[in-house]
Amino acid sequence: MPPAATPTATPGKVPRHLAVIMDGNGRWAQQRHRPRAIGHRAGARAVNLCIDFCLDKGIEALTLFAFSSENWGRPADEVGALMKLFMNALEREVDELHRRGVRIRFIGERGRFADAIRARMDEAEARTAGNGRLALNIAASYGGRQDIAAAARGLAEDVAAGRLQPGDIDEALFDSRTALAGLPAPDLFIRTGGDHRISNFLLWQLAYTELWFTETLWPALDAATLQRALDDFASRERRFGLTGAQVSGAQNGMTSA
Ligand code: IPE
Ligand code: IPE
Ligand code: MG
């Protein structure tokens, strides 16, 4: 459905790219006196809800933080439960996502996953590579600092090999070596679970992203909460370092004074 069908959002101010930290699974389960793994399972349902919402609103790209490079340090049984859930999701959800025109990509250190999971990730990417309705990026074993370090390493290797001069390195070239190269930077960032921090998500890419936080725990996510984030986004003035007059002049088609 095109964004114009959204009753409450200002037309034209739907984010092109939404980035989400899906946080609060463990607390959701603990509130119910259940093991944390149950919270992760419930969280997988919220992932589907979020994808449906983006498809419905005509959002072009969705980047979900599923597992950070630091999350490997959690107790082995929790990491194991999460790996099982990834594998199940890869087995169960890819067909339907493909049918709906979703292009799936995984960002992060894929080498740390078991062979079977890696193979499924490769398969899902290859299978959906031609889709253009929604670019879905799953950040798994991802860290923003690691992303930046990998880009720097690649550029340094090119300089050392004589393929590149240090003076050639600018923001655009650096960006082209990061995990989300080729996509517009996220317009809107949402974190559920009540904490107000980035937790090593997309550090380079979030430079001018609008940030939105909610107390709602990820498994309790509903479309109304996502709509509140979109409505708030539509009401904000993004200035990118300019003055309000410059920005509103540009929006009215006037040249800035
Ligand atoms: C987010 O929920 C999922 C992952 C980090 C894998 P948490 O597991 O961090 O849940 P809380 O924050 O402990 O409630
Ligand atoms: C961020 O949540 C990572 C994911 C949601 C995948 P965490 O629960 O790991 O973040 P902290 O530890 O609260 O900063
Ligand atoms: Mg957490």
Atom of ligand 1 nearest to the CA of 36: 8
Q: Chain-centre distance of CA 132, in angstroms?
A: 17
pLDDT for 11: 55
Q: Do residues 18 and 191 make contact, with C-beta atoms less than 8 angstroms apart? A: no
Ligand number nearest to the C-alpha of 199:
2
Work out the average pLDDT over 205-216.
Answer: 98
Scanning the structure block, which residue is given the tokens 């080498």? 111
pLDDT digits (tens, 9 = 90+) for 91-125: 999 999 999 999 999 999 999 999 999 999 999 99
pLDDT for 79: 98
**Radius of gyration, CA atoms only, the chain:** 19
pLDDT confidence band for 212 (50 / 70 / 90): very high
Q: Do residues 146 and 67 make contact, with C-beta atoms less than 8 angstroms apart? A: no
Burial letters 162-182, b for 16+ CB under 10 A, else e: eebeeeebeeeebbebbbbee
Dihedral pair phi/psi, residue 198, rounded to 5°: -90, -25
Q: Do residues 36 and 26 make contact, with C-beta atoms less than 8 angstroms apart? A: yes
Q: Do residues 218 and 22 make contact, with C-beta atoms less than 8 angstroms apart? A: yes
Work out the average pLDDT over 232-254.
Answer: 90
pLDDT for 254: 61
- Write out the catalytic residue numbers: 23, 71
pLDDT for 9: 43
Q: Tell me the C-alpha distance between 136 and 38, whole Å.
A: 24
For the cut 70, the answer to whether the pLDDT of residue 4 exceeds it is no
> Which CATH code fits 17-256?
3.40.1180.10
Q: What residues have their beta carbon closer than 5 A to ion ligand 3?
A: 23
